Chains A and B, each alone.
Chain A
Amino acid sequence: MRLRCPLCGERDRREFSYKGAAVALDRPATEDWSAEWDDYLHNRANPAGETRDLWQHAAGCGAWLVVTRDTVTHAVTEVALARDAARGKGAA
């Protein structure tokens, strides 16, 4: 598996560390503990197919990335800066 960092170009998988499903971009608005927080922290769609997850180009530029890929084939269809993905959601 190789990922194309938007800043550095295509690099070996070893340069990237995986954080998990990109739900981290959907942090609940409230600070109080709720079922919403439980769902955000623990429960996952865990799709067999297209998924979006967070990676960091840890051994490269350090950028956080949202990777769209297929969990069945390992095909990577899109790599975007997490910053841009978050702004796209109106979270900037």
Chain B
Amino acid sequence: MRFSGLKVIKEGLTGNRGWRPHWRDPDPKGAYDMVIIGGGGHGLATAYYLAKEHGITNVAVLEKGYLGGGNVGRNTTIVRANYFLPGNSEFYSHSLKLWESMEEELNFNVMHSQRGLINLFHSDGQRDAFARRGNAMVNQGDDAILLDREGVRQHLPYLDFENTRFPIYGGLYHPRGGTARHDAVAWGYARGADARDVDLIQNCAVTGIDVEQGRVTGVQTTRGAIRAKKVGVVVAGRSSQVAAMAGLRLPIESHVLQAFVTEGLKPAIDHVVSFGMGHFYISQSDKGGLVFGGDLDFYASYAARGNLPMAEHVMEAGMTLMPMIGKAKVLRSWGGIMDMTPDGSPIIDRAPVEGLYLNCGWCYGGFKAVPGSGFSFAHLMATDRHHAPAARYRLDRFATGRGLMDEEGTGAQHNLH
């Protein structure tokens, strides 16, 4: 079933009786060539690219809940390629290019909106750092424009430019940055994978990973044993638990990150605005809600909810930056489980168990990485070679100290990012 304007009109005029489910709901088979643990954005994208780029379709995606019900189902939806360090820069550049062709390729509207992202700066030193970052982005082939104060004012006239603590000196403008409809990305990849005969198996929790003589032979699940030649673990905040089933300890701590949504308002905020010094960023959804968030709560947690001090801090930062939002009523908030690595950069690599592959450590930045991560992880699983844009996301960089990617420059230790 293809989507088109004509189809939408026809269905609208005939009672919408022609729509069909977008994917099957199969029972698991006894064996597959490859099993992907985790039916979120990254896992579904991996399955899609395994089928499309490598012709590997005897694949199952095992999801303990429903497809796209984890972090891809609740996040602040920002898509950008404004990284600085080699390793991150080429990866997110590749991922953004995939975003830009995704809707046509998947025949699915993911509401990708390149409304522009502005990162604010508040001192001469910060301006220098942002100019350098902008140059790195341009060198990577992406777009960056350094705005002075008046340049920011033209885009964002509603900010409090005179703030005493953090006066706005300017901003780094990334026009191709923006947002996308978070669920739709998962659904689009699910639909594309299913259409290529990948089995998407829901309500199927993995309870064990079978390893014989150092080699993966399959997984145990709540819906029976499944044999597989290769197993990919793509489970975000739950990475440590699933890796432990294969006897592994990962360089990951799971932390809670909160985000908030207000009631729907008329269009007011046209961009994504990031106020790093206040730990605050915001955009407005197509429904009109203000979507905003801040920093981690900074303690290990799987509770999927945070504490009030960080909620208060985020609200204060928002009021500091744009007092006009003060009367907006917050409708809901949530806490996501973030798989934090010591250097703040992810891992796409082979595990030290033959046939087992790891895709984890996305910290609080996994959403924009969904297409790039799936593409690169599928490449790794299919060919056993690293895909060039993700070649530096190695598991052993912590042990060796080589190739650490500490984007914030705070140190490659836990609890610093």
Contacts and interface: CB of A to CB of B under 8 A. Distances in A.
Q: Do A and B bind each other?
A: yes
Interface of A: 1, 12-14, 17-21, 35, 38-39, 41-48, 51, 53, 71-74
Interface range, B side: 20 to 34
Nearest to A12: B309
Given A18-B298, A72-B302, A74-B301, A46 B252 contact: yes
A18 B253 CA distance: 13
B399 A18 contact: no
A39 B299 contact: no
Contacts of B238: 48
B250 A43 contact: yes
B251 A20 contact: no
Interface in B382-414: 398-399, 413-414
Given A18-B298, A20-B253, A46-B240, 6 more contacts: A19-B415, A42-B251, A46-B250, A46-B252, A71-B301, A71-B302
Nearest to A14: B309
A25 to B, nearest CB: 15
B253 A44 contact: yes
A53 B299 contact: yes
A74 to B, nearest CB: 5
B336 to A, nearest CB: 14
Interface in B209-257: 238, 240-241, 244, 249-254
Contacts of B244: 45
B9 interface: no
B203 interface: no
A1 B415 CA distance: 18
B251 A43 contact: yes
B342 A74 contact: no
16 contacts: A12-B309, A17-B298, A18-B298, A38-B398, A42-B414, A44-B249, A44-B251, A44-B414, A45-B249, A48-B238, A48-B241, A53-B299, A71-B302, A71-B303, A72-B302, A73-B303
Contacts of B249: 39, 43-45
B315 interface: no
Nearest to B244: A45
A18 B252 contact: no
A48 B250 CA distance: 14
Contacts of A74: 301, 303, 307
A44 B244 CA distance: 11
A41 B398 contact: yes
A48 B87 CA distance: 31
B240 A44 contact: yes
Contact of B399 (A12, A13, A20, A38): A38
Contacts of A13: 307, 309
